[in-house]
Homo-oligomer: A and B are copies of this chain.
Amino acid sequence: MDYSRRKQVNQRSLTGAFVVAAGLIFGAVLPGQAALSDQQVTTLDTIKRDVSAASHSYQLIESLTTEVGARMVGTPGADLATDWAVNKMNQLGFDKVWVEESDAQLWQRGDLSASITAPYPHKLVAIALGGSVGTNGKPVEAEVVYFANLQALQDAPANSLTGKIAYVGYRMERHIDGHGYGKAVGARVAGASAAAQKGAVAFVMRSVGTDTNRIAHTGMMRYEDGVKKIPAVALSNPDADLLENMLHREEPVKFSLTTNASGPTGKTVTIANVIGEVTGSESPDELITLGAHIDSWDVGTGAIDDGIGIGIVLAAGHYIANMPTRPARTIRVILFAAEEIGLVGVRDYVARHKDNISNHMIGAEWDFGNGRIYQLEPGVGPSALNSIRDFATYLAPMGVALAPTNTAKGQSDMSLLGAAGQPAVNFAPDGLDYFDYHHTDNDTLDKVDQEALKVNTAIYTLFAWYAASSEVNFHQ
C-alpha cells in the first residue's frame, strides 16, 4: 500500500475531533434494523469454522510469489501476474472474470551504487525512490548536509545547499495503526524538490521503515513542477545511523551516488485491473466489493504488499462461490493495478464505473499486511449502522472491536471508491511490523503469519457473505 495510507491517517486524526463534536454515534439507539437472524448466524458459524481452519489464502500467496514473484508496473512480472490472476479466478469458481486495461507511466529503476567516500570509503545500502531520475551515467559526489526532517530542509536558507547533497534523517515511529508512516512519508514524496530548491545536487533520506536491517525501503516520490529534478534515494536504517555518526564528527562527510533510475520516461505501459465476480442469486446487480492490489514493487516478491490482500480476497470469493447456496448480492473481487505508483488502476476503475457507484453497496480492501484484525470501522449511511453493529457483535469474539466512529471511506485503492460514494468497512490489523518489510527486498513469503492470515481470511469471508446476504442498503 502506499498513498492511501496517508489519507487514512489524516482521516483518523480528523476523526478525534468529530467524535468530540458529535458524541459517540453508537451511543444512540437507531431504529429500523433487524439483528442477525438465527439462519444467518448458522451460516456465519459455518464460514468461520471452515475458513479459520483452511490455508487457502496462504496457498494462493505461495503460488503468486513462487510462480510470478515481483510484479512492478512495466516489468514482465506485471503481465505474468495478470495471467496468473485470471487463471486463478477461473480455477477458483468465479462466475465472471475479466480485465480492464488502461495506461500508466513507465519508470525504470536501473542499477545504483552509493558510498561514503570521506572520511574513509564505505559502501552503503541504498535504493532509488520510485519516479526518481538518475545521475546521467556518472557519479554525483558531494558533501552531505544533515536535516532532522522535511520541515528543517524546507526552512534552510535559499542557495544554502548549492553543490551539496541534502540528507533527511527523520526516523519513522512504530505504531499499531501505522500512523508513523504519514509523519515520515512527506520527506520521501517532497524531499527531492525541497532540496533542489536550495541548490542541492541529490537528495538522500533515511528509509521510511521501522526495521534495523541493511535493506532500504523504496516508494514513490514526486517532482514539483518547475523545480530541477535531482536524484532521490533512501538509505537503510543502519546505513543512516552510520552516516549520522560520521556527520556528528568534525570531518566533512562526502557521498558518492550513481543511479540509473529513468525518471519520468514519457512512455506509458498497459496496466490491467483484474476483476472476478461470484454472481448473486437474487440481486446480482448489487455489488459487494473486495479489493487488493496486484502490482508490487520490484523488490521482494510482494508477499506482504499486497500478496496477502490478493490471497484473502481470492480465498473469500472462492469460498462463497462454492457454498451450496449463493447469497443474494454479487461479490466482486477487484485486483487493482498500479497502486504503488499512485492508485492508477483504481482511477481507471472509478472513471469506468462512475455512473454505477450506487450499485456498489459496500467494499473492503486488504492492503496492510500481516497482523490480526483488531478493529472494524464502518462508513455507511445512518440507517445501516445497526446492522453493522450486529455484524461487529458477531466478530467480537474473534478479537475485533467496533470503532466508535462511522467515517471509513475505504482503504488503499478503495479510498477513491469511497470518495466516489461507495460505503466501506475498514478493517484495522495490527500493523506493528508492517513497516519492517514494506517496499523492501524483505517482502517475502516467510514473513506471512499463517495463523493470523487464517483468521483474517475468515473475517473477510464473513464480511463478504454478511453484506451479500443482507437486505440493508449501506448507502442510506
- Tell me if A245 is interfacial: C-beta within 8 Å of chain B: yes
Q: Is A215 an interface residue (CB 8 A)?
A: yes
Q: How large is the interface on A (under 10, 10 to 19, 20 to 34, 35 or more residues)?
A: 35 or more
Please pick, from B120, B214, B246, the residue contacting A215 in the complex, using a CB distance under 8 A: B214
As for how many copies of this chain the complex holds, the number is 2
Instruction: State whether the Cβ of A289 lies closer than 8 Å to any Cβ in chain B.
Output: no
With A215-B214, A441-B125 as contacts: A245 and B80 at CB distance below 8 Å: no
Q: Mark contacts of A22-41 with chain B using CB atoms, 8 A cut-off: 1 yes-contact digit, 0 otherwise.
A: 00000000000000000000
Indicate if the CB atoms of A65 and B120 lie closer than 8 Å.
no
One digit per residue, 1 when the CB lies within 8 angstroms of any chain B CB and 0 when it does not, for chain A 374-416 equals 0000000000000000000000000000000000000000000
A241 and B120 alpha carbons, distance in the complex (Å): 37
A111 to chain B, nearest CB (A): 10
Those of A127-176 within 8 Å (CB) of chain B: none
The answer to whether B76 and A242 touch across the interface, beta carbons within 8 angstroms, is no
> C-beta contact mask, A77-101 vs B, less than 8 Å → 1, else 0?
1001000000000000000000000
A213 within 8 A of B: yes
**Residue in B closest to A446 when the chains form the complex, CB atoms:** B212
Which residues on the B side are within 8 Å of A441 (C-beta)? 125, 214
CB-nearest residue of chain B to A66 = B245
A445 at the interface (CB under 8 A from B): yes
Determine if A210 is an interface residue (Cβ-Cβ < 8 Å). no
Q: Is the CB of A242 within 8 A of B122?
A: no
State whether B444 touches A65 (Cβ < 8 A): no
Proximity string of chain A (53-79) to chain B, C-beta cutoff 8 Å, 1 when within and 0 when not:
000000000100111111000001100
| A249 on interface, CB distance cutoff 8 Å | yes
Contact of A69 with B446 in the complex, beta carbons under 8 Å: no
Which chain B residue has the least Cβ–Cβ distance from A116? Answer: B69
CA distance A70 to B214 in the complex (A): 14
Q: Is A301 an interface residue (CB 8 A)?
A: yes
Q: Is the CB of A442 within 8 A of B120?
A: no
Any chain B CB within 8 A of the CB of A182? no
Partner of A65, one of B237, B242, B446: B242
Contact (A242, B121) CB under 8 Å given A214-B300, A214-B441, A237-B446:
no
A214 B245 Cβ-Cβ under 8 A: no
In the assembled complex, the Cα of A62 lies from the Cα of B65 at a distance in Å of 39
Q: Is there an interface contact between B241 and A445, defined as CB atoms closer than 8 Å?
A: yes
A447 within 8 A of B: yes
- Contact digits for A441-475, partner B, Cβ 8 Å, 1 yes 0 no: 11011110000000000000000000000000000
A284 interfacial contact with B, CB 8 Å: no
Q: Is the CB of A249 within 8 A of B66?
A: yes
Report the bound CA distance from A447 to B300 in whole Å. Answer: 23
The 0/1 profile, CB within 8 Å of B marked 1, for residues 405-444 of chain A is 0000000000000000000000000000000000011101
Chain B residues with CB under 8 A of A121? 76
A238 at the interface (CB under 8 A from B): yes
In contact, A215 and B212 (Cβ under 8 angstroms): no
Contact with B along A193-217 (1 / 0, CB 8 A): 0000000000000000000111100
Set of chain B residues within 8 Å of A62, measured between Cβ atoms: 245
Chain B residues with CB under 8 Å of A77's CB are 120
Q: Are A242 and B212 in contact (CB under 8 A)?
A: no
A364 CB to closest chain B CB (Å) equals: 29
- In whole angstroms, how far apart are the Cα atoms of A68 and B122 in the complex? 9
With A69-B122, A214-B440, A241-B446 already in contact, 10 other A-B pairs whose C-beta atoms are closer than 8 Å:
A66-B249, A68-B120, A69-B242, A70-B122, A77-B120, A125-B441, A214-B215, A214-B300, A215-B215, A238-B444
What are 19 A-B residue pairs whose CB atoms fall within 8 Å in the complex? A65-B242, A65-B245, A66-B242, A66-B246, A66-B249, A69-B120, A69-B122, A70-B122, A76-B120, A125-B441, A212-B446, A212-B447, A213-B213, A213-B215, A214-B444, A237-B446, A238-B446, A241-B444, A241-B446
**Lowest 9 A-B CB distances belong to which pairs?**
A238-B444, A66-B245, A214-B441, A212-B446, A69-B122, A213-B213, A238-B446, A214-B442, A241-B446
